[in-house]
Chains A and B, each alone.
Chain A
Amino acid sequence: MSTAARLRRVAALGRLAVGYSRHTMSRLVRRGGWGGLAAFDALYRRDRISRLTPEERAALAGHGRCIACGLCTFAATRSGYLTAERLPLQLTRSLPEVWATRDLALDSLDWAAAQAVCPTNVPLGQIRDLVITRLEADGVLPPAPQLAPAVLPVPPARRR
């Protein structure tokens, strides 16, 4: 390791050590740390990166059982863009994107009929409920804004 690199490492570790003492002091007066769940929710609500309920956690593995056979779509007919198989296959693959199903008429399909014919027992009714709950929670929020970095100074000086 070159001397310059060694000095940079010493400086980095020194700054972390200072950070550690500051942190320890502030922990003595401020229990619980910065934030907690409320802070998390505030930071990521617009991105729809939110808590999973225990029910959602339990059901998620079942969503992946769909083998795209299409039987449920025959059983439940369709409503515009919405078909039964699209729910597990496409529309709920990414929970932060579930809001974009808000233009679909979820209640117009016969979910019980769809689930009854599913050969791999995909919990279609449960998935529909999950979508409704998520839409109620954050469906009306506008899409997350495209954040720009707050600090973008001129390009760094040449290093070599």
Chain B
Amino acid sequence: MITSTSDEALDLLVVGGGVTGAGVARDAALRGLRVCLVEQRDFASGTTWGSSGMIHGGIRYLEHDWETTRISCLDSGYIKRIAPHLLFPVVFLVPVYADAKLGIEVMEVGLEAYDRFQPYKAGRPHVRLSADEALILEPGLNPRGLVGALTMDEWGVDAARLVVLNALDARANGAELRTWTEVAGLLRDGSGAVTGARVRSRLTGVEEEIRAAVVCNAAGPWAAEVCAMAGVELQLRPAKGIHLVYDRRITNVALSIEAIDGRGLLLVPHAGTTLLGTTDDDHYGDPERLDVTEDEIEYLLQATERVLPSIRQHRIAHATAAVRPTLHRWSRYEDDLSREYEVFDHAVDGAQGLVTVAGGKMSMFRKMAEDAVDAVVRRLGRGLPACTTHRRPLPGGGSPVDVEDVANSMAVPLHLAQRLAGRHGDGVWALLREAEAGDRGTVVCECEGVTRAELRHSIRHEHVERLEDLYRRVRCTGGACQGMRCCWAAAQLMGAERGWSPARVGDEVRAFLDARWRDRPVVLRGVSAAQEELTRGALTP
């Protein structure tokens, strides 16, 4: 473990623990660099947390540049190869109505073209359905004006877990991880070169300096703020997007929907939830303070109702809001794939030693990280091994898991074995072997099927600092009740593991409930609103 308080400078300090920063830290650590990653909250608590959770291949680039689609599909394939346990198929049903912008023939031509690229990511070819067949597949579709439908698939992913696995693999290769620690300023020498950062713990308030030969700014929508610390101007065009998150899968297939302004929306069955999104509005405020408004919710529901008339009967558990770290020149994205994301070496701005990676999408995180680390290596001027992240499995992704074998030999219910294997891959064996027999099948989070064994494992090995981090590790508190039922039990278990005082346990629960409540009242309806207000009142210490 690197002690960053030592006088010896690190090779690389990564600012930001979203998917990009975690990918950069992993790639750099695997190439032998001495790395520290600093994240102001928890891993994946920024934009990555609020994404639609899809690793997609870039069908929309087909109108602009087929090579971009190929590269995008290829990188999705690499992610599928290194983390097969984390990815699950999301099958889209694209219902085509008589008044649609594009007719079914034109749409099918696009999908026929995309079929050629699907094998890169283990995707499957499209299917064309008649209106009657579409209604058999999804009887909830609005039949009026339905001409037919097309299906295609992409991959879904637990975005937070993808980040965590990258960060943990970085740590396993020598990187130091610091969450709940913000970069408060950049250190510069007389020539203006960036030589490290002043960081402050958000938990203790302690400040210290970390020296590094290169600082990589992977702060997503905060990237311009970090650049400003070195007197560099970076122009982003942040765009806010919200999702409504339903308590369960309310459809078996994802639906593609046209909004009133012609934008495309998606209703995506995602693990045990359904995501409905997203909006896309310019955002000028602090990316950390985002509200979901009634207007945004209505915009989504109104559009969805035209395709799935029963949408308002389903239960929304919560809403998410996030800001896309879009490059300012986004409107010219078709220029080049590199326009979608960009790696800036700020030596040209007089801030040698600062590299920024900005823009992009989660599906491209591995490639973005590779390009950013290439730039860091060039700046360091050392000969280092090439990137290996496209073939080296993430933790748990080494070998397929026979879930029945896990259930039988470790004496856990099949359902729990299935959930565990989905999150931990082949790490499920070590997790269960390490666990006390009584913890293996004892559930703490009912909705997500998270056991005491899994929680203890995560608290011990997965860099958990706060109660709310458990959601981004193992989805604890991620179900319909949003943790109202299990937050005390999880906090007590964490307190026991960490030696927290009863007061600290209470503080964690209070902070957790306050944070969760922020994006819930706007979506709660009817009897569940009353019930949950009551529960929250009863639980608050």
Contacts and interface: CB of A to CB of B under 8 A. Distances in A.
A95 to B, nearest CB: 6
Interface string A126-160: 00000000000000001101111111110110011
A103 to B, nearest CB: 5
A97 B251 contact: no
B129 A35 contact: yes
A5 B65 contact: yes
Contacts, number: 233
B314 A60 contact: yes
Contacts of A101: 414-415
B252 A90 contact: no
Given A35-B128, A148-B84, A57 B248 contact: no
Contacts of A96: 249, 252
B418 A49 contact: no
A8 B64 contact: yes
B299 interface: no
Interface string A3-43: 01100110111011001100110010000111111011001
A86 B336 contact: no
B400 interface: yes
B338 interface: yes
B100 to A, nearest CB: 16
Given A49-B91, A101-B415, A15 B335 contact: no
Interface string A85-108: 110011111111100111110000
Which residue, A5, A13, A54, has most C-beta atoms of chain B within 10 A? A5
B151 interface: yes
Contacts of A52: 137-140, 251-252
B77 interface: yes
A104 B324 CA distance: 44
Interface centre among B137, B387, B527 (most CB of A within 10 A): B137
A23 B126 CA distance: 14
Contacts of B485: 68
A15 B65 CA distance: 10
B121 A149 contact: yes
Contact of A94 (B67, B133, B271): B271
A64 B246 contact: yes
A148 B122 contact: yes
B65 A150 contact: no
B187 interface: no
Interface string B315-336: 1000000000000000010111
Interface stretch (B43-51, B231-239, B441-449): B441-449
Interface string B77-88: 110110011001
Nearest to A24: B105
A74 to B, nearest CB: 15
Nearest to A155: B390
A67 interface: yes
Nearest to B246: A64
Given A11-B66, A12-B64, A36 B127 contact: yes
Nearest to B408: A103
B523 interface: no
Given A16-B63, A37-B133, A156-B74, A66 B252 contact: no
Interface in B267-306: 269, 271-273
Contact of B137 (A5, A51, A68, A104): A51
Contacts of B122: 147-150
Nearest to B80: A149
Interface residues of A, number: 76
**Most interface-central of B126, B151, B252, B253 (chain A CB within 10 A):** B252
Contacts of B338: 159-160
Nearest to B415: A100
Contact of B139 (A32, A54, A66, A92): A54
A95 B249 contact: yes
A93 B121 contact: no
B224 interface: no
Nearest to A50: B252
Contacts of B67: 8
A77 B478 CA distance: 26
Interface string A60-71: 110111111000
Specify which of A2, A57, A80, A104 lies most central, judged by the most chain B CB atoms within 10 Å of its CB.
A57
B119 A149 contact: yes
Contact of B66 (A12, A24, A54, A159): A12
A27 B105 contact: yes
Given A12-B66, A35-B127, A151-B120, A68 B481 contact: yes
Contacts of B124: 43-44
A150 B527 CA distance: 49
B501 interface: no
A131 to B, nearest CB: 11
B464 interface: no
A146 B64 contact: no
Contact of B446 (A44, A61, A85, A92): A85
Given A51-B136, A96-B252, A143-B403, A156 B71 contact: yes
B480 A64 contact: yes
Given A103-B413, A147-B122, A149-B122, A40 B151 contact: yes
Contacts of A152: 74, 77-78, 81, 120
14 contacts: A4-B336, A9-B64, A24-B105, A35-B128, A44-B89, A51-B252, A64-B246, A85-B446, A90-B446, A90-B448, A100-B415, A120-B527, A148-B81, A159-B71
Given A23-B112, A32-B130, A51-B136, 18 more contacts: A1-B335, A2-B335, A5-B336, A8-B64, A8-B65, A16-B63, A34-B125, A37-B137, A89-B479, A89-B480, A93-B247, A93-B447, A94-B248, A100-B418, A149-B120, A150-B120, A151-B77, A159-B338
Interface of B: 62-67, 70-71, 74, 77-78, 80-81, 84-85, 88-89, 91, 105-106, 108-110, 112-113, 119-122, 124-130, 133, 136-140, 148, 151, 153, 246-253, 269, 271-273, 310, 313-315, 332, 334-338, 387, 390, 400, 403-404, 407, 413-418, 441, 443, 446-449, 479-481, 484-485, 527-528, 531
Which are the 8 A-B pairs with shortest beta-carbon distances? A33-B128, A64-B315, A149-B77, A93-B272, A35-B127, A61-B313, A81-B413, A146-B84
